[in-house]
């Protein structure tokens, strides 16, 4: 029988790509989403349940109707700047919402979850590669909520025998190579889609925030990981839970290679053929000079090797998506 997976936030960017990967692996993904940031057009590989993680009744109804074998939990607020302005919103959605999901799982006797976390739980590590053993030192309210939920998962593993994997993403990027789904945030705050919009003339240009960092070209280094590769890591994490003992296991999901802001913009200009204007501005608060993964654990334990995450492929798929949509 096909196993059913409840995917909270399944109409969102990473969640919808995970649903496609789940379906390809023989699962039935059920997307549970309030559509505040997700899109109904992104739900193509299983049913959509419109509901809110802040409403326990919505969750109970979804568990009762679809009887999932496990949960993938993406539903969250993600904008770092917004979290600084409105930390209470992030506590409510990201922490209370996650507690509601876990409690609903308990009532439905579902004991496995893959949690969408972030490398930001490690904060600024001073340019070192970030691994699962790097200190947990979040510096934004958003990152603090993700670290807090990882702690709650550990508590539930003791109290309820929960089996959990926390996947700490680096910079999710790119779009489905088949062009079926892609990145469509409103407002958009991520570098590659903003650059694509500038190339399409949807923006007058864009900014680089700081060119005086201790990096090869002075701009921030980030580890960009294709969303399709991220989606496959979720499927592999789910499979790992089949034979796991109660507990929480974390994995850093990155390619292990940093690309600078300037390199990304040059790549978008080359692939689009548009030399859009770029303006220098001062540094932003909270931007670390370098955030790059040490992905060895994910590669050896999950047997996960990114195959779409070179910068050219990421930008080509993103550009194709934005041209089309």
Determine the Cα–Cα distance for residues 53 and 68; give it in Å rounded to an integer.
16
Residue 45: closest CA among 27, 63, 64: 27
Determine the Cα–Cα distance for residues 17 and 39; give it in Å rounded to an integer.
12
Determine the Cα–Cα distance for residues 145 and 79; give it in Å rounded to an integer.
12
CB 61 within 8 A of CB 107: no
Rg (CA), the chain: 19
Q: Work out the angle at residue 245's Cα, subtended by the Cα atoms of residues 240 and 249, and round it to the nearest 5 degrees.
A: 60
Q: Is 142 a catalytic site residue?
A: yes
Q: Work out the angle at residue 199's Cα, subtended by the Cα atoms of residues 40 and 178, and round it to the nearest 5 degrees.
A: 40
Phi, psi of 32 (to 5 degrees): -115, 115
The verdict on whether omega for the bond into residue 227 sits within 30 degrees of 0, i.e. cis, is no
Q: Residues 13, 142, 169, 224: which is the catalytic one?
A: 142
Tokens (6 digits) for 117: 């976390």
Instruction: Give the position of tokens 């910068």.
Output: 311
CB 76 within 8 A of CB 94: yes
* Coil vs helix vs strand at 155: helix
The helix (run of H) or strand (run of E) holding residue 320 is: helix 311-324
Active site residues: 142
């Amino acid at each position: 029988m096909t196993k059913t997976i409840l995917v909270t936030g399944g109409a969102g960017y990473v969640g919808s790509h995970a649903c496609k990967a789940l379906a390809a692996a023989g699962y039935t993904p059920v997307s549970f989403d309030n559509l505040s940031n997700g899109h109904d057009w992104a739900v193509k590989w299983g049913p959509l349940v419109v509901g809110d993680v802040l409403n326990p009744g919505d969750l109970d109804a979804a568990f009762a109707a679809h009887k999932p074998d496990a949960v993938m939990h993406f539903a969250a607020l993600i904008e770092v700047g917004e979290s600084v302005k409105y930390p209470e919103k992030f506590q409510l959605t990201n922490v209370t919402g996650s507690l509601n999901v876990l409690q609903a799982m308990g009532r439905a006797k579902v004991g496995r979850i893959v949690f969408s976390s972030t490398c930001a739980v490690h904060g600024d590590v001073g340019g070192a590669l970030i691994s699962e053993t790097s200190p947990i030192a979040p510096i934004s309210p958003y990152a603090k909520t993700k670290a807090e939920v990882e702690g709650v998962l550990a508590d539930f593993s003791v109290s309820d025998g929960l089996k959990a994997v926390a996947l700490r993403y680096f910079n999710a990027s790119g779009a489905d190579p088949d062009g079926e789904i892609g990145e469509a945030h409103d407002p958009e705050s991520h570098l590659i889609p903003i650059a694509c919009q500038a190339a399409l003339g949807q923006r007058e240009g864009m900014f680089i925030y700081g060119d005086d960092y201790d990096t090869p070209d002075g701009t921030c280094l980030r580890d960009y990981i294709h969303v399709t590769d991220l989606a496959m890591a979720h499927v592999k994490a789910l499979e790992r839970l089949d034979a796991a003992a109660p507990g929480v296991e974390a994995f850093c999901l990155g390619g292990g290679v940093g690309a600078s802001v300037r390199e990304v913009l040059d790549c978008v200009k080359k692939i689009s053929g548009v030399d859009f204007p770029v303006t220098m501005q001062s540094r932003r608060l909270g931007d670390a000079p370098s955030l790059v993964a040490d992905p060895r654990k994910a590669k050896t334990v999950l047997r996960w090797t990114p195959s779409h995450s070179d910068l050219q492929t990421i930008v080509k798929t993103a550009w194709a998506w934005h041209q089309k949509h």
